[in-house]
Amino acid sequence: MFDFFSSSSKPQQELQQLRQLVAELQASNEFLRQENTSLRQRLERLSGIEEENQRLRERIETLAEKTRTNSRNSSTAPSQDPHRPQKKRRKIVSADFTRRKAGPAKESTPPKELKPVEEVDHLYDCIAQEPCFCGGRVEVNKTHYRREQQYEIPQVEPEITEFRIFSGECVECGRSQEGHRPPGVPGGMLGIRALAQTATLSGDYQLSKRETQRVLADSFGIKVSLGTVSNAEAQVSAALAVPVEEAHTYVQQQERVNADETSHRQAGKKQWLWVAVTTWVSVFLIQASRSTAAAKKLLGETFKGILGSDRYGAYNWVDTIRRQLCWAHLIRDFIKISERSGAAKRIGNTLLAHAKRMFKLWYKLRDGTITRKQFQDRLLPLRKSIERLLEEGVETGDSTTAGTCQNILKFKAALWTFVEQEGVEPTNNAAERAIRPYVLWRRKSFGSQSERGNRFIERMCTVKATCRQQSRDVLDFITEALRAHLAGTPAPSLLPQRSDQIQAKAA
């Protein structure tokens, strides 16, 4: 007989089991949903931490690069290097290649070229000792002797000129009249050469006014006040105005010019000293800014020559095809790139190796070992490789390296002007050497205190650098310029005028 109740209870049990299973699955799903939400929140927190870690890593790398910045991989002055490595002591080796013991240097032998007897002020015969140590008589040979000469600085006494100024009275109108110093004689207590010497001490030898005051008293017997030193600088500056302006015009018309700039202070306010260097003439100019307008004032609005400089933006108005970027600055950039990690390190090291090979070829061209055609042919593969590496640098993940390489490639044509144009140097060393004496003077001074002081500095720097280039005496030029200025005659010129100078420079 069919059991109705038994058969109907089984679906109920299964239904109950299914309901229970659904409840369990819903509870499990809710648990998984909560766990998923928790994991997502945790993942978001971890992502935020990772982003923060990445920012911190980039910050650490930036700070580490700043600590590595020095004069080798940037434009920082060597004196500002945070950790200046001690130079290795060089072994002192004598002529026979044996190590010589340290100690005071022996007095050098007399110069080979002796002054002729006619130019000697005093003669002194040194007779051989007599009698001999053995007691015998010494017979002196007066036909053969060894000549030795000694230089002595005589005691300097100032030459004093007194001007007696007479006055009178007109017999017709009764007006009083007074005499004056002769034309061409400066006012004040210093004569022309004394004025020139004072300006040379402060402007050429870069002594302070107090040091100049002391040298005048100790070496020349002339005691002056600090105001007299300042007034002497002003008179000399006025005398040099015309020659320096002529030199400035000359530089702006040259086919090859190197330029650089450095900071300067006038009464504590920051300004800039600019320099333009050619083969024969260098000109300095102090300006209030480091702008394009300042560069144009230095080089001239219509400058058509080839400019050697660094990549500073103030020079970008000059066409790239008429520029030569300084490879010394580029090498510093390559060193900085090589100090990074990853692809940047490889690119930087390879760029440095290529630059080294390039300079070896340049030295051979400069020495005449190879012709310019040979130089160009041998350099062509290096040029292509360097440009390709810079393009790779743009594609690296390092934004700093990419920015540097991209900036260099913007002036790609200016990398190789020295290869195509004769007379163009691959570096801007000429301008940096010209400006270096001022930088040393700046370190021990407080700059200038007025516009008058600025004009004295830039004019003296111009005269000093140009006279050195032309092997002319700075003191003699200043004296001649003062004499012409006071007499109202044409000023001497700083422009090269002697053919023997040109021949000597070419040699």
* pLDDT tens per residue across span 158-189: 999 999 999 999 988 889 999 999 999 999 99
Question: What is residue 95's predicted lDDT score, i.e. its pLDDT?
Answer: 41
Question: What is residue 370's predicted lDDT score, i.e. its pLDDT?
Answer: 94
Matching residue, tokens 């945790």: 42
Residues 6+ apart with CB under 8 A from 278: 250, 251, 254, 256, 257, 258
Provide the strand spans (E) within 191-339.
256-266, 269-277, 282-287, 306-309, 323-325
Q: How many residues does the chain have?
A: 507
**Segments making up each domain of the chain, as ranges:** 327-420
Cα–Cα distance between 384 and 408 in angstroms, integer? 14
Cα–Cα distance between 118 and 116 in angstroms, integer? 5
Question: What is residue 97's predicted lDDT score, i.e. its pLDDT?
Answer: 40
Question: What is residue 466's predicted lDDT score, i.e. its pLDDT?
Answer: 97
Q: How far is CA 393 from the centre of its chain?
A: 28
Torsion, CA 228, CA 234, CA 239, CA 244, rounded to 10: 140
For the chain, the average pLDDT equals: 86
pLDDT greater than 80 at residue 500: no
Question: What is residue 74's predicted lDDT score, i.e. its pLDDT?
Answer: 58
Matching residue, tokens 């520029």: 323
* pLDDT tens per residue across span 60-109: 666 665 666 666 665 665 655 565 555 555 554 444 444 555 555 555 55
pTM of the predicted model over 0.85: no
Q: How far is CA 141 from the centre of its chain?
A: 59
pLDDT greater than 70 at residue 375: yes
Does residue 81 sit in helix, strand or coil? coil
* pLDDT tens per residue across span 200-255: 999 999 899 999 999 999 999 999 999 999 999 999 999 999 999 999 999 999 99
* pLDDT tens per residue across span 131-163: 888 878 888 888 888 999 999 888 888 999 999
CB contact at 8 A, 147 and 156: no
- Enter the tokens of residue 181: 């110093």
Matching residue, tokens 């699955």: 25
Least confident window among 59-63, 403-407, 418-422, 460-464: 59-63
